[in-house]
Amino acid sequence: MQMKKLLVGTIAILAIVAGSVTAVYAEDSVKVGVVIPLTGGFQSNGRQINAALKSFVATHGDTAGGKKVEFIVKDDGSVPDNALRISQELITNDKVSILTGFGNTPTALSVAQLSKRAKIPQVIMVAATSSIMKASPYMLRTSWTIPQVASVIGKWAPENGAKKFVSIVSDYGPGKDAEEWFAKTIEANGGSVISKLKVPLANPDFAPFLQRAADEKPEALFVFVPTGAGAAFMKQFVERGLDKSGIKVIAMADVTDDDLLNNMGDPAIGVVTGGPYSANHESAENKAFVEAFKKNNDGMRPNMVAAAAWDALDLIYKTLDKTKGDATGETFVNAAKGMEINSPRGPISIDPETRDIVQDIYMRKVEKVGGELYNTEFQTFEKVKDPAH
């Protein structure tokens, strides 16, 4: 039965490959399939991506490379099998030339072999596990990687008075990456992780893990949970009384997500995180981005997912301009390699060797600014590549 299922899947992909020559290069337009989680466990990512798409098109129009760019948005429900099925339908039925979106690692990986066989550019907006770039030579990433951020935190923390840690991470690919690279880096810089705790991804209850962490009496907690789960973590951190224990929280940026930060209230003040973007980033590009985003989305604040989605769209437009509208796999990906963009988060580029993002990583602290909570950047690590490559 398993072999039969495998053969059916292979035949389906081969059929897509056979039709890909006509599917990928329409004369008068370029169709882009946007596969995102508008429902399910990662729906906050889909919400931010959809808002970024709306804002980008309102700001930049719907043409690039002399062609009309048509976006077709589909909800994968945060489920990998759905993402694969939808992507197949977008290629065969809708004749898309480019796939983008992918709100988590499993959905991005589920489509990678399809991207590889059909030679369809796959532009990753969120999925942050380092290894996924090896799955398809047609994959490009504009978000960030977990090792890229975790290694910076692991270097910064022991230099700033926090050496004894307990790590708490969500139990899936990115969480394992975060745990590994934080521990590897902090140990290389004179610190230690005395206990490593993994929290179930679905319906997480942080309370027992926080109690175990408190019993270990660390100087600080290193935390990674997906965007959207940080509010629940901080609520339970306070409920367990750990905000008054002297134990610091030094976390990945997802924990103090810009979209949800104000809802966390004053207990979040002082939490230190490392990440690629803050809505409070000081630059003309970010000011324009935040204004456009809020204007087109009823005042909603963008987070790092929105910034990564915006940059993915910018990469698609700039690459199409460079290829004069040619979105065929080899041509598009080769044109995107080495691309430099003045992003709302600062300067970014696509590494020509890995097709992955190179960017500044910031250490930030939650502060109250103008009556609202923001991640205020206080130290910059410039042009960071993924150390796992």
Neighbours of 27 (CB within 10 A): 6
Let me know if residue 244 belongs to a domain.
yes
Does 211 lie in the same domain as 236?
Answer: yes
AA letter at 224: F
Structure tokens at 201: 């991804």
Are 211 and 137 in a shared domain? no
Structural domain includes residue 67: yes
Q: How far apart are the first and last CA of the chain?
A: 37
Q: Which residue has the higher pLDDT, 204 or 12?
A: 204
Q: For residue 163, is pLDDT > 80?
A: yes
Residue 25 has pLDDT above 80, yes or no: no
143: helix, strand or coil: coil
Question: What are phi and psi for residue 76, nearest 5 degrees?
Answer: -95, 0
* Mean pLDDT in residue range 245-261: 93
The CA-atom distances, in angstroms, between 300 and each of 259, 277, 293, 359, 374 are 8, 16, 7, 25, 14
Residues 79-137 have pLDDT tens digits of 999 999 999 999 999 999 999 999 999 999 999 999 999 999 999 999 999 999 999 99
- pLDDT confidence bin for 226, thresholds 50/70/90: confident
Report the pLDDT value the prediction gives residue 14, as an integer from 0 to 100: 40
Domain that holds residue 198: 146-275+362-384
Q: Per the structure block, which two tokens stand in for 69?
A: 């760019």
> Is residue 8 pLDDT above 70, yes or no?
no
182, 320: one domain: no
Decide if pLDDT at 15 tops 80.
no
Q: Which of 73, 51, 56 is nearest to 297 (CA)?
A: 51
CA atoms within a 13 Å half-sphere pointing along the CA-CB vector of 200? 6
Plot region of 374 (φ>0 → left; ψ -120 to 50 → alpha; else → beta): beta
Burial of 134 (0-12, 13-18, 19+ CB in 10 A): exposed
pLDDT given for residue 21 in this prediction: 40
User: Which pair of tokens denotes residue 235?
Assistant: 């609520």
Helix (H) or strand (E) holding 12: helix 2-18
**Both 129 and 231 in a single domain?**
no
Other residues' Cβ atoms within 10 Å of the Cβ of residue 368 = 13
Is residue 309 over pLDDT 80?
Answer: yes
Model pLDDT, residue 27: 63
Q: List, as one string, the DSSP characters of 279-326.
A: TT--SHHHHHHHHHHHHHTTTPPP-HHHHHHHHHHHHHHHHHHHHTT-
Neighbouring C-alpha atoms within 13 Å toward the C-beta of 382: 1
Residue appearing with tokens 């960017």: 359
Contact 165, 157 (CB under 8 A): yes
369-380 tens-digit pLDDT:
999 999 999 999
Average confidence score pLDDT of the chain: 92
Looking at the fold, whether 238 and 92 belong to one and the same domain comes out as: no
- Joined tokens for residue 71: 């976006």
Residues 184 and 108 grouped into a single domain = no
Q: Are residues 314 and 202 in the same domain?
A: no
User: Do 54 and 102 fall into the same domain?
Assistant: yes
Long-range contacts of 180-183 (CB under 8 A, 24+ apart): 180/147, 180/150, 181/146, 181/147, 181/150, 181/151, 181/154, 181/387, 181/388, 182/150, 182/151, 182/153, 182/154, 182/222, 183/154
pLDDT in tens, 265-284: 888 899 999 999 999 999 99
In a domain, 389, yes or no: no
Taking alpha carbons only, the member of 77, 140, 72, 90 closest to residue 112 is 140
Task: Confirm whether 214 is domain-assigned.
Answer: yes
Strand 164-170 and strand 220-224: the pairing is parallel
Lowest-pLDDT choice from 180-194, 235-249, 325-339, 346-360 = 235-249
pLDDT digits (tens, 9 = 90+) for 33-70: 999 999 998 899 999 999 999 999 999 999 999 999 99
The pLDDT value recorded for residue 99 is 98
- Shared domain for 201 and 255, answered yes or no, is yes
Both 333 and 210 in a single domain?
Answer: no
Give the per-residue pLDDT at 19. Answer: 44
Dihedral, CA atoms, 125, 128, 134, 138, nearest 10 degrees?
Answer: 0
- 60 & 92 share domain: yes
- The answer to whether 99 and 87 have CB atoms below 8 angstroms apart is yes
Q: Is 157 exposed, middle or buried (0-12, 13-18, 19+ CB in 10 A)?
A: buried
Q: Taking a C-beta distance cutoff of 8 angstroms, is the pair 360, 369 a contact? A: no
Query: Torsion over CA of 75, 79, 81 and 84, rounded to 10 degrees?
Result: 40
One domain, residues 155 and 224: yes
CATH number of the domain where residue 342 is located: 3.40.50.2300
The CA-based angle 242-247-251, given to 5 degrees, is 100
